[in-house]
Amino acid sequence: MSVTRIFRRDPAVARATRQNTLVAIMFFGAGIVFLDRFGITYLFPDIGRELALDNQQLGSLVSVTAVAWAVSSLVFSVLSDRFGGRAKWMIVASLVLFSCAVGLVGLARDYPEMLLLRAFIGLAEGPALPLIQGVVARASSPERRGRNLGIVIAGTLVIGSALAPSIMIGLASVLGWRQAFPLVAVPGLVVALLVAIFLREDTTAERTPVRLRDFRVVVANRNVLLALVGTVVCIGANIGFGTFAPVFLASNGLSPATSTVVLTVYGGIIALGNVVAPAVSDRFGRRPALFIAAVCSGLVPLFFVLFAHTPGWLMVSLVVGLMAGGSLTLITYVVPGESVPPALMTTAFALQIAVGETLGGALGPQVGGALADATHSLSTALLLYAAAPILLVVVSLLLRETAPGRKAS
């Protein structure tokens, strides 16, 4: 009996196979989004020297992308929900546009040109992640939703964090930072082609268009509003920490090779945590998992400060990332997505991203950079990012449970 016939006779196996294929495609799609968005931070030491940029200006290159990302993600996600989906081709268009913009970054001659390109990258990338997560959330069975969403976000960390230092620093070491960007843009175009060919529009996921007044359900939901606070904290601390961690390690005397190893280990652990923590939440509930993840999120930047001169101890201490890595997935996607009707999931995700990126994404790097310049120490900025997750701990205690089978009656 052929495999095809078995799949046809067993709808459960066929559904699981479709879920796994979808998650695999979106894992790479989300990863490319974050490689192209944050890969530049690993070249900030070189870019800063050549263009004579201070820490605040470097932070603004991340912040302007965050603000543009926020506006774009909300606008296009609302349109997607309003008119019943069309997620596939919006994802393809986003991948193509921002990949082309990333390829042009190496041509920037000064700070204003770099700032303009980074803003366009944010506008083009904005719709991709909420649309990707919306497609995955609606296609996932309830008992696998947290894990599937976590796997997709893990792609952003495996490719955008764990592999990014080796990719960006390696290319820049051989070719120079300007030549690195056109090469980094190529994978995004390849993934766009794969999405166009292999991603099938699921007629069960593409809903009847919702009415404008239905969007009030999202902004009136208690969990969604609490999650906004947590998302701001998560995005602000994560982006801020990611912006300055490479520069911090370099300023503490670590060689580029050692810094690359540390950042690669960190990215790998956080990526695995994005699967572990949501999977734990599938079994034990969203609230307890988020509480532990929030505490661990504060420990990561603290350990960087404490063990910067002992890379071995630093890498061992980063085991807390196995829970810390899932904090963003839980507060930005899993909890809000389970708190609203399925037809409004993409909007709920985009609202979290829009507010989180506008406030957290913009202020996190800017405030941290300004604080570092004022105190002449990047350690101060990292300690700020270590303290911020205290608010996320409070949010985790106030949320209503949303895990299937564990919801409050």
Q: What percent of the chain has pLDDT over 90?
A: 25
Q: Alpha helix (H) ranges present in 52-127?
A: 55-82, 87-103, 111-125
Q: Which tens digits make up the pLDDT trace of 327-337?
A: 988 999 899 98
How many domains does one find in the chain?
1
Q: With CA atoms as reference, report the closest residue to 346 among 327, 333, 330.
A: 333
> Average pLDDT for residues 77-83, to the nearest whole number?
72
> Average pLDDT for residues 202-217, to the nearest whole number?
61
Q: What is the CATH number of the domain that holds 318?
A: 1.20.1250.20
Q: Alpha helix (H) ranges present in 285-389?
A: 286-306, 311-317, 321-324, 327-329, 335-339, 345-355, 362-375, 378-387
Q: With CA atoms as reference, report the closest residue to 275 among 222, 328, 199.
A: 328
Domain around 26: 13-199+212-398
Q: How confident is the model at residue 383 (pLDDT cuts 50, 70, 90)?
A: very high
Q: How confident is the model at residue 1 (pLDDT cuts 50, 70, 90)?
A: very low
Within a domain: 263: yes
The highest-confidence range among 81-85, 151-155, 156-160, by mean pLDDT, is: 151-155
Within a domain: 404: no
Q: What is the pLDDT of residue 256?
A: 81
Within a domain: 285: yes
Within a domain: 245: yes
Q: What is the pLDDT of residue 206?
A: 47
Within a domain: 5: no
Dihedral sign, Cα of residue 166, residue 146, residue 98, residue 366? negative
Within a domain: 7: no
Within a domain: 88: yes
- Report CA 91 to chain centroid distance, whole Å: 16
Within a domain: 207: no
Residues 296-308 as b/e (b if ≥16 CB within 10 A, e otherwise) read bbbbbbbbbbbbb
Burial of 64 from C-beta contacts in 10 A (0-12 / 13-18 / 19+): buried
- Contact predicate 407/326, CB 8 Å: no
> Average pLDDT for residues 111-126, to the nearest whole number?
91
